[in-house]
Amino acid sequence: MSFVGLCDCNNFFASCERVFRPDLEGRPVVVLSNNDGCIIARSNEAKALGIKMGTPLFKARDLIRRENVAVFSSNYQLYGDMSARVMNILRSEVPQIEVYSIDEAFLDLDQMPVDGLQRFAQRLSARIRREVGIPVSIGVSPTKTLAKISSKLCKRYPALRGGCLMYRKQDVEKVLSTFPVKDVWGIGRRMGVRLEAAGISTALGYYNLPPQSISKMFTVTGLRTWKELHGEPCIGFEDAPQDRQTVCISRSFSQEMTTLEELDAAVSTFTAKLAEKLRRDGLCAEQLSVFILTNRFRDDRPQSYEVKASLFEVATDDTLELAERAAALLRQIFREGYGYKKAGVMATRLIPKGGVQGSILDTLDRGKRSSLMDVIDAINSSSGNYTVRLASQGQMDEFSTRAMTSRKFTTSWDEILEVKC
């Protein structure tokens, strides 16, 4: 029998904030989305207070003040670096890993004997906590779906010491009997609603359905999930992530924007960030979309959601080319008299840069422009973001408030932790 592991960082963003703030242990902690709009991460203490994922900050202010909740703006540089440290440890311990998200990775445990897997998971969990400071839950099972469920047991039962092996039929069925079917990886919200409407609320109820019923009710994905719950691996192990399909940069604004000039500066800034991300990932976009929307919480104001897309003759990652097209799209969808609360740009139909098809009608010297982008990226990397920027971006990134951001303890010499003794 082969096995796969799932390493899941517990309450990752909140845990990152605690690594350099031991005074926060035992205190409720929440982390906010871009521009401090909604709560996107919660410590266990914050969850116990009833704070829900996605709650707008203004709705939770009274509770936060009353319960002395520590609030942080999102600090993605810190989170990204801490994630990389966790992943590097995982790579040093197993033949290969599949990074599933910033705080999750599947582990290839195929060659390990079953009698040592529980101890291995616990030892690896302890090593990550000791060397990085992040608590993790490592679930081990014959399939990815069961490994996901197994990792959640570690969070529920501290006695497991961060590692749980689950593979025996009687153990699997016992766990599935209390596991909500809507929380099973691969079920999804719509499928979960249909199952609960049919009286199936636990994963065991789904597990006990005959495969013929699964095939009639749902797609091949539903049958694949059913097989995975029965210990039959159906989801392959990938050493590298699949090609990305989209790249999106969007922000909610602290104050509504009512003029084209304000939105133009914001969209220009978002487009520059999007272009940098495309180049970093070695991708080019054949299509660019721009969207703007009003504040849906303002019933007293007119509402609008506008989006416009455009195709490029030649797929591109060029900041200047993308920004020019984004500005033109914005002018087509902007409407006077509206207060816009959010805007964004999205690159779609992505292809690897090495596979871009040229055009005999293309008048742009792409070799020179590519060299220019490389120089800009190098300067901004060594001297700081926005050292070189488009004039249309304005003087600074004024569209991301993040008023409660912690220091970049691990990525900036100017913000490194200081110890006085």
Q: If pLDDT is split at 50, 70 and 90, which confidence band does 360 have?
A: confident
Cα 236 to Cα 133, 233, 248, 419: the distances in Å are 31, 8, 27, 47
Cα 419 to Cα 17, 22, 75, 130, 416: the distances in Å are 17, 13, 22, 19, 10
Average pLDDT of the residues of the chain: 89
Segment 230-256 shows an average pLDDT of 78
Q: What is the pLDDT of residues 30-73, one digit of tens each?
A: 999 877 778 999 999 999 999 999 999 889 999 999 999 999 99
Residue 157: closest CA among 145, 170, 139, 142:
139
Q: What is the CATH number of domain 246-393?
A: 3.30.1490.100
Residues 399 and 35: their CA atoms lie apart, in Å, by 8
Burial bucket for residue 188 (CB in 10 Å: 0-12, 13-18, 19+): middle
The pLDDT, as a whole number, for residue 126 is 97
The pLDDT, as a whole number, for residue 421 is 84
The pLDDT, as a whole number, for residue 402 is 56
The pLDDT, as a whole number, for residue 241 is 47
Q: What is the pLDDT of residues 361-388, one digit of tens each?
A: 888 899 999 999 999 999 988 777 778 8
Segment 258-279 shows an average pLDDT of 94
Give the strands of the sheet with 163-165, arranged side by side: 97-101, 104-108, 4-9, 136-141, 163-165
Segment 396-421 shows an average pLDDT of 73
Record the tokens describing residue 109, joined without a space: 């445990």
The pLDDT, as a whole number, for residue 400 is 52
Tell me the domain boundaries of the chain.
Answer: 246-393
Q: What is the pLDDT of residues 165-206, one digit of tens each?
A: 999 999 999 999 999 999 999 887 888 888 888 899 999 999
Q: What is the pLDDT of residues 80-110, one digit of tens each?
A: 999 999 999 999 999 999 988 899 999 999 8
The pLDDT, as a whole number, for residue 361 is 83
